[in-house]
Amino acid sequence: MRVSNDQRIFRMSGSNEDQLPSNQIMGKDDFLKLLVTQLVYQDPLSPVDDQEFIAQTAQFSALEQMQNLNESFKSLMRIEGQINRALSLGFIGKQVRVQSGFFELKGDGPVELKYQVKGDPEKVTVKIFNDKGELIRTLEPRDISRGEHTVLWDGRNDKGERAESGSYRYEVTGVDKAGKEVSLTPTASGKVEGVSFKGEEVYLLVNGDLVPQSSLISIEG
């Protein structure tokens, strides 16, 4: 039985420890090592065919170019991340509007709770929670058309008692005539007090809450 050059390579080039695991992708160094080993252990009476050798060399060249392209792409992504981080520092001190339901209750005055309607709800409900996650007030605003809206909260709970100053959160939900949920987004305005980086994500500190930069809706000033 004739033994091919490729079979001879794996029989003569070393033990199983030298071979790649089945789940490991062959790199250009492994490919080059395999090619050299094939030339060293080729049968003098049946050398590697010229066309086969040219094809293998072309495969190596393509593999090297692909890996170089991959490294270039990774470098480009790193540079883009550094640019985004540098640009995000320019948000500090800016008045912005973001997708967020967090806000601060200060003093006795009413608080403007903003929300965005993207569907056609029959009913909209605004639920306000304290920093312990307890529901303290439920509002049903009348303005439920598409677009940006504001509902005023007088700072009191459902019992009519004055809520303490501190951090609060609100959720906005809506249902249409068929009883299906409608897309609603709570929005908040505030000054960017700082910037934080977690992995590749950039976070803005607004109203004491870290929100992803991707949740930024507009810069108001």
| Contact present, 125 and 140 (Cβ < 8 Å) | yes
Mean pLDDT, range 106-111, rounded to an integer: 81
**Do 31 and 99 have their domain in common?**
no
Residues 71 and 99 reside in one and the same domain: no
**Tokens read off for 49:** 């065919």
- The residue ranking higher by pLDDT, 65 or 182, is 182
Closest to 111 measured CA to CA, from 188, 172, 216, 184: 188
Same domain, 75 and 105: no
Residues 25 and 82 in one domain: yes
Query: In terms of pLDDT, which residue wins out, 99 or 48?
Result: 99
Cα dist. 106→80, 154, 165 in Å?
40, 11, 5
Residues 58 and 137 in one domain: no
Residue 92 predicted with pLDDT over 70: yes
Q: What is the DSSP string of the chain?
A: -PPPHHHHHHHHS--GGGSPPTTSPP-HHHHHHHHHHHHHT-BTTBPPPHHHHHHHHHHHHHHHHHHHHHHHHHHHHHHHHHHHHHHHGGGTT-EEEEE--EEEE-SSS-EEEEEEE-S--SEEEEEEE-TTS-EEEEE--S--SSEEEEEEE-SB-TTSPBPPSEEEEEEEEEE-TTS-B--EEEEEEEEEEEEEEETTEEEEEETTEEEEGGGEEEE--
- Residue-wise pLDDT for 185-217, tens only, equals 898 888 899 888 887 788 998 877 888 888 888
In a shared domain, residues 51 and 102: no
Contacts of residue 3, Cβ cutoff 8 Å, sequence gap at least 6: 11
State the residue range of the domain holding 69: 5-89
Question: The sheet that has 123-129: what strands, in order across it?
Answer: 102-105, 166-175, 123-129, 135-139
User: What's the domain count of the chain?
Assistant: 2
**What is the token pair recorded at 120?**
């056609």
Residue 25 is encoded by which pair of tokens? Answer: 């992708």
State whether 41 and 28 are in the same domain: yes
Last residue of a domain, one of 56, 73, 89: 89
Q: Is the pTM of this model over 0.85?
A: no
What number is the average pLDDT over the span 12-35?
53
Claim to verify: residue 54 and residue 143 sit in the same structural domain: no
Query: Do residue 164 and residue 122 come from a single domain?
Result: yes
Mean pLDDT, the chain, rounded, equals: 77
Question: Does 203 lie in the same domain as 171?
Answer: yes
| Residues 83 and 20 grouped into a single domain | yes
Question: Does 116 lie in the same domain as 65?
Answer: no
**Which CATH number goes with the domain that contains 150?**
2.60.40.4070
125 band by pLDDT with thresholds 50, 70 and 90: very high
What is the predicted pLDDT for the residue at 73?
65
Q: φ and ψ at 30, to 5 degrees? A: -65, -40
Report percent pLDDT > 70 for the chain. 66
Which segment of 4-13, 74-83, 126-135, 159-168 scores lowest on mean pLDDT? 4-13
